[in-house]
Chains A and B, each alone.
Chain A
């Protein structure tokens, strides 16, 4: 099956610093990658959709200057949380898809804690 990895799995940072999360599709080329945020005991909330080589499309209410997304290759997308605050603490999950007719495969998630 398709494998998606995320790094790091856990990160603790101080308020005001920036954190980068990587998402990689290991055995397929992902034309589209998605970034989700999940609060405890809640469903997945889509933050943005990124296609390789183009700017990400952000969902309403998600600050694009705060959550920087780069999809530089068909196997790598990064999410940078800039000037992190405690309210940014959450579980961030990426997913990847080979094409519009294909299913999404999720990474294992990154637990971000901002102190």
Chain B
């Protein structure tokens, strides 16, 4: 499907820093998902959001489902080297699922 607008495309941060990335769309979704993909692997689901305004945490990760249902953000606090990878957002409306282009995160020790 068509891609969502995901930003930034890449981030280079120092270990310990916080990270924020977001996705926007012109369409509404009933589910927002955030995945992480390591090189040569399939994406792994990090957080799933089902309600507008929902704020959900998974360890150092926090994500929110935008109130307009057209956007979502993912925050990573106190980054560590193993956070390196590509993060994809995905918006789902029944059988239609669209992906962002990904945010490539590099963490310097």
Contact = CB atoms under 8 A, between A and B. Distances in A.
Interface stretch (B13-21, B40-48, B64-72, B74-82): B40-48
* Interface range on chain B (Cβ under 8 Å from partner): 20 to 34
Interface string A14-52: 000000000000000000101000000111101001000
B98 to A, nearest CB: 9
Interface residues of A, number: 25
A103 B40 contact: no
B92 A43 contact: no
Contact of B88 (A43, A103, A108, A109): A43
A27 B31 CA distance: 22
Interface of A: 1, 4, 6, 32, 34, 41-44, 46, 49, 59, 91, 93, 95, 100-101, 103-109, 111
Nearest to B93: A100
Contacts of B97: 34, 46, 104
A43 B101 contact: yes
A106 B40 contact: no
A105 to B, nearest CB: 6
Interface in B67-109: 88, 90, 92, 94-95, 97, 99-102, 104
Nearest to A107: B42
Contact of A93 (B42, B48, B100): B42
A6 B41 CA distance: 11
A109 B33 contact: no
A91 B41 CA distance: 9
A108 B44 CA distance: 9
Contact of B43 (A49, A106, A111): A106
A93 B1 CA distance: 15
B68 to A, nearest CB: 21
Given A32-B95, A43-B88, A100-B95, A106 B42 contact: yes
B95 A49 contact: yes
A74 B103 CA distance: 33
Contact of A44 (B33, B48, B88, B95): B88
A60 to B, nearest CB: 10
